[in-house]
Structure 1
Amino acid sequence: MFGLIPLKTLPGWPEATDPTVIESLTVLLGIPVALALVILVLGMAPSWFGADRSEKAVARKDG
């Protein structure tokens, strides 16, 4: 399978460097965690702002 993928740098191209541990962790863990947090915040935001509306609705029905 790996015979189909050339693992050499093409002539005339600069030599590719191996990624550092920090770069690998950023790509493999940092970016997915950041995206998950953004999705979590966007999903929970309506309930944060909707709580005030529901309390006012209950107060209107009682009074």
Structure 2
Amino acid sequence: MTGLIPLETQTLPGWESAANPSAIEVLTLLLGVPASIFAVILLLGLAPTWFGKGRG
């Protein structure tokens, strides 16, 4: 199975090789983006109650 997964970064001929991401970039991608999406959905869900439209 490991023979199917390339362990080296391969780029097209003539292109620059891809740089390895830093720890901050990885954390932003894995934690920051989902947290931002969750915050937007939460704000959209709570906004009607903040403006009084959720009252019966």
TM-score by length of 2: 0.72
The higher relative CO (CA closer than 8 Å, separation ≥ 6) is in: 2
Trace 1:1-63 onto structure 2 (pairs within 5 A).
Answer: 1-6=1-6, 7-10=8-11, 11-50=13-52, 54=55
Query: RMSD over aligned Cα, in angstroms?
Result: 2.2
Q: Percent identity?
A: 52
Q: Which one has a larger percent helix, Structure 1 or Structure 2?
A: 1
Moved segments of 4+, more than 3 Å: 1-8
Larger radius of gyration: 1
TM-score by length of 1: 0.66
- In the comparison of the two structures, how many residue pairs are matched? 54
Structure 1: gaps of 5 or more residues: 58-63
Cα distance between partner residues in 2 of 1:30 and 1:8: 25
